[in-house]
A and B are shown apart, each in its own frame.
Chain A
């Protein structure tokens, strides 16, 4: 059965800290991994990772995928209170012509001022 496991499940840091969120996956017909940020509404897209070892960056956020070890990390530097959210990791299962996301439970990040 496909599964995605995120750690830690929750994290409390202070503004300015750097955090690393982990995501390990076992997804059949794996093709890509997605990171989402979810506040009090639907998830918003952050990154799509398809190739191993290539870092993707967006401002203070960066992410990388290791297809050999089946994991990904999401880094946030110089955290701000606006980064407080649940960060979701999802593996894409490409069985045949289909594609659906297998989500982890998320990491709840709280950034204190």
Chain B
């Protein structure tokens, strides 16, 4: 399967613990996005990378959140000192930048990691 993959699919943790999620994008895609989705809402943008550079971060991304994409391939999203409000589905998406496609951009989503903070 050459789609976007995420690991783990589910994570239950206690408040105050740190968690780390991984995303493997479609191999030729140079852009990678992280979103958060809570029940009944559409996904909310968190951050995005073009290759290994983190180009934008949402104000939703507090200091407890950090994301990396060290080699421009897979990415990790870490949440430190988790809070109950962090419980959500964390979605990763990848795309080719329009500079490469010559047109508009389409993002393809992974299956998500569902986080429950007790």
Q: Do A and B come from one complex?
A: yes
Tell me whether B41 is interfacial, beta carbon within 8 Å: yes
A31 adjacent to B42 (CB under 8 Å): no
Number of interface residues of A (CB under 8 A): 26
A103 adjacent to B43 (CB under 8 Å): yes
Tell me whether A64 is interfacial, beta carbon within 8 Å: no
Tell me whether A75 is interfacial, beta carbon within 8 Å: no
Tell me whether A50 is interfacial, beta carbon within 8 Å: yes
CB distance from A94 to the nearest CB of B (A): 8
Select one of A42, A45, A88, A103 contacting B110, CB under 8 A.
Answer: A42
A residues contacting B by CB (< 8 A) are 4, 31-32, 34, 36, 41-45, 48, 50, 88, 90, 92, 94, 97-106
A48 adjacent to B104 (CB under 8 Å): yes
11 residue pairs bridging A and B, Cβ less than 8 Å apart: A31-B98, A43-B91, A45-B106, A45-B108, A88-B43, A90-B42, A92-B104, A99-B98, A100-B48, A102-B45, A103-B43
Number of interface residues of B (CB under 8 A): 29
Counted as pairs of residues, one from A and one from B, with CB atoms less than 8 Å apart, the total is: 67
Which residues of chain A are within 8 angstroms of B112 by Cβ–Cβ distance?
41-42
Q: Among residues 45 to 95 in chain B, which have CB atoms less than 8 Å away from a CB atom of chain A?
A: 45, 48, 50, 55-56, 91, 93, 95
B residues contacting A by CB (< 8 A) are 31, 33, 35, 40-45, 48, 50, 55-56, 91, 93, 95, 97-99, 103-112
Majority secondary structure, A binding face: strand
B109 adjacent to A100 (CB under 8 Å): no
Given A32-B104, A50-B104, decide whether A42 and B111 contact each other with a Cβ distance below 8 A: yes
CB distance from A22 to the nearest CB of B (A): 15
Which residues of chain B are within 8 angstroms of A32 by Cβ–Cβ distance?
104-105
Which residues of chain A are within 8 angstroms of B56 by Cβ–Cβ distance?
98, 100
